[in-house]
A and B are shown apart, each in its own frame.
Chain A
Amino acid sequence: MENFYGFFLDNLLIIYLLAFTVLLGFEIIAKVPTVLHTPLMSGSNAISGVVVIGAILLVRLTEPTDYLTLSLGFAGIVLGMINAAGGFVVTDRMLEMFKKKKK
Chain B
Amino acid sequence: MKFAILVNEGPYQHQASDSAYQFAVAAIESGHEVARVFFYHDGVNNGSNLTTPPQDDRHIQKRWSALAAESGVDLVLCVAACQRRGMVDEGERDRNKKDAINVADGFRISGLGQLIEAGIEADRLLTFGD
Indicate whether A and B interact.
no
